A and B are shown apart, each in its own frame.
Chain A
Amino acid sequence: MNDTGLTDTAPAKITARGVQVYYGGTHAIKDVSVDIPDNTVTAFIGPSGCGKSTFLRCINRMNDTIAVARVEGDIRIDGEDIYDRRVDPVQLRAKVGMVFQKPNPFPKSIYDNVAYGPRIHGLAKDRADLDGIVESALRRAALWEEVKDRLAQPGTGLSGGQQQRLCIARAVATAPEVLLMDEPCSALDPIATAQVEELIDELKQNYSVVIVTHSMQQAARVSQRTAFFHLGHLVEYGETGRIFTSPEDPRTESYISGRIG
Chain B
Amino acid sequence: MPLTWVLPILIVMGLVAYGLSRRRAIASVAGDARRLHSLPGHYGLNALLATMVPALIVLALWTVAQPLMIERMVAADFPRDAVAPGSTLALTLSDVQRVAEGLEDAARAGVIDAGRIAAMNLKEATEALRAGGTVMAAPLTEAVLTAAVEYHARTVAMRRAMLATLLAVAAIGAVWALHRSRGEFRARNAVEQAVRLLLIAAASVAILTTLGIVLSMLFEAMRFFDQYPWQEFFFSTTWSPSFSGRGGASQLGILPLLWGTLYISFIALVVAVPIGLFAAIYLSEYAGKRFRTVAKPLIEILAGIPTIVYGLFALVTVGPLLRDAFAEPLGLGNSASSVMTAGLVMGIMLIPFVSSLSDDIISAVPQAMRDGSLGLGATKSETIRQVIVPAALPGIVGAILLAASRAIGETMIVVLGAGAAARLDLNPFEAMTTVTVKIVSQLTGDTDFASPETLVAFALGLTLFVITLCLNVLALFIVRRYREQYE
Interface residues of A (CB under 8 A from B): 60, 62, 65, 67, 90-95, 97-98, 100, 102, 104-108, 116-117, 120-121, 154, 156, 167, 170-171, 174
B375 touches A62 (CB 8 A): yes
Could you write out 29 A-B pairs with CB less than 8 Å apart? A62-B371, A62-B374, A90-B379, A93-B374, A93-B376, A97-B376, A98-B371, A98-B376, A100-B368, A100-B371, A100-B375, A104-B366, A104-B368, A104-B371, A104-B372, A106-B387, A106-B484, A107-B369, A107-B484, A107-B485, A108-B390, A117-B376, A117-B377, A120-B376, A120-B386, A121-B377, A154-B485, A156-B485, A171-B376
What residues on A are CB-neighbors of B368 within 8 Å?
100, 102, 104
Which residue in chain A gives the minimum CB-CB distance to B375? A98
Say if the beta carbon of B221 comes within 8 Å of chain A. no
Which residues of the other chain, A, contact B484 by a CB distance below 8 angstroms? Answer: 106-108, 154
Q: Which residue of chain B is the closest to A106 with respect to CB atoms?
A: B387
Residues of A close to B376: CB separation below 8 A: 93-94, 97-98, 116-117, 120, 170-171, 174
Given contacts A107-B486, A156-B487, contact A120 B372 (CB under 8 A): no
Known contacts A100-B371, A100-B372, A120-B386: A107-B391 contact under CB 8 Å: yes
Interface size on B, residues (CB 8 A): 24
Question: Do the beta carbons of B391 and A65 come within 8 Å of each other?
Answer: no
Minimum CB–CB distance from A138 to chain B (whole Å) comes to 16
Whether B377 lies near A91 (C-beta < 8 A) is yes
Q: Residue among A92, A95, A104, A116 with the most chain B CB within 10 A?
A: A104
A232 and B131 alpha carbons, distance in the complex (Å): 93
Q: In the bound complex, what is the Cα–Cα distance between A106 and B376 (angstroms)?
A: 12
B374 to A: closest C-beta gap in Å: 6
In the assembly, what is the distance between CA of A163 and CA of B382, in Å? 22
Q: Which 10 A-B pairs have the closest CB atoms?
A: A94-B377, A107-B484, A98-B375, A104-B368, A93-B377, A104-B372, A117-B376, A107-B486, A107-B391, A120-B378
- Give the tally of cross-chain contacts (CB within 8 A): 80
Complex CA distance for A105 and B378, rounded to whole angstroms? 15
List, in ascending order, chain B residues with CB within 8 A of A154's CB: 484-485
Task: Report chain A residues within 8 Å CB of B377.
Answer: 90-95, 117, 120-121, 174
Q: Does B373 contact A (CB under 8 A)?
A: yes
Interface residues of B in 85-125 (CB under 8 A from A): none
Specify which chain A residues have a CB less than 8 angstroms from the CB of B188 in the assembled complex: none
User: Nearest chain B CB to A62's CB is how many angstroms away?
Assistant: 6
Central interface residue in A62, A94, A100, A107, by most chain B CB within 10 Å: A107
CB neighbours of A106 from chain B (8 A): 369, 372-373, 386-387, 390-391, 484
Given contacts A65-B370, A104-B366, A120 and B382 within 8 Å (CB-CB): yes
In Å, the complex CA distance between A174 and B375 comes to 11
Provide the residues of chain B in CB contact with A117, threshold 8 Å: 376-378
Question: 0/1 per residue, B386-399, Cβ < 8 Å to A?
Answer: 11001100000000
Residues of A within 8 A of B371 (CB): 62, 65, 98, 100, 104
Cα A93 to Cα B374 in complex, Å, equals 7
A116 and chain B: residue at smallest CB distance: B376
